[in-house]
Amino acid sequence: MEDGQYASGTDFKTIFGLYEFDRKLRCLLFSALEELEVHLRAQLSYFHTHNYGSTGYMNPDSFNFRHNHADFTVRLDDLANKSDKIPFVAHHVEKYNSQFPLWVIMELFTFGMLSYFYAEMLTPDQKKLAYTVFKTSVAEAKSWLYCCTNLRNMCAHSRRLYNSVFSVIPVNLPVSDKSAERKLFASVMALRGLYPSDNKWNNEFMTAMSALFDEYSDVILLRHIGFPSDWETIMRK
């Protein structure tokens, strides 16, 4: 409450239950985001290398007009320098004079850099990837990747998800309640839109999330994370 006092009826069991629910929810989401991250690395590196060669990413002409190539190369150098003790990095520094094929250097990319890489690609390339890999539009792919980057960072840094207001709103998602746009539900729907396996999403992720909600049904309110009562029907792929 605003005066620093606990609301009437609050007890330690409820507070601890919410803490544990949030912790387990972050772990579940982080696992799904990790699968998406691996998928993105594979798809982006394959597509770009196939079209521009193994080191084509060093050519600014392979990116759109918004791309700041000088800044990009500084970021790449910084990644390599900070990871110079990793065997595959040391190998390419010593044997190939720090010439990294895209599929190698991309192993060092954060989720945010993967999202950035897609957003900086040439428009025809963005469209082809959006259509063939993400099965959506460029605008949605870029927006949802940005949302997933934000969600991934929240999970990685143990930020509270329950009853939190999100700063990033994904575009074109079936959210009937506008207040849910800034809740967890919208970001999870963005993850759903990009997730690479319908079968794993429906039979593993959805099953685990439903079980987690059931486990903590006595302490959580779904509206505090923006989930409607029919979330399972809406979220199934």
The reported pTM is: 0.92
List all residues 6 or more positions away from 220 whose beta carbon is below 8 Å from its beta carbon: 17, 18, 21, 162, 213
What is the per-residue pLDDT for 162?
A: 97
C-beta neighbour count of 128 within 10 angstroms: 15
The yes-or-no verdict on residue 222 having pLDDT over 70 is yes
Q: How far is CA 150 from CA 9, 170, 182, 188, 192, in A?
A: 34, 11, 12, 11, 15
Rounded to the nearest integer, the mean pLDDT of the chain is 93
List all residues 6 or more positions away from 235 whose beta carbon is below 8 Å from its beta carbon: 188, 189, 192, 206
Confidence grade of residue 1 (pLDDT, cut at 50, 70, 90): very low
Contact 145, 115 (CB under 8 A): yes
Q: How far is CA 125 from CA 153, 231, 237, in A?
A: 27, 34, 26
What is the per-residue pLDDT for 175?
A: 64
- Dihedral through CA 110, CA 116, CA 121, CA 125, nearest 10? 70
What is the per-residue pLDDT for 180?
A: 80
Compute the average pLDDT of residues 15-40: 97
- Give me the percent of the chain exceeding a pLDDT of 90: 87
Read off the pLDDT of residues 175-202 as tens digits, 9 standing for 90 and up.
666 778 899 999 999 999 999 999 999 9
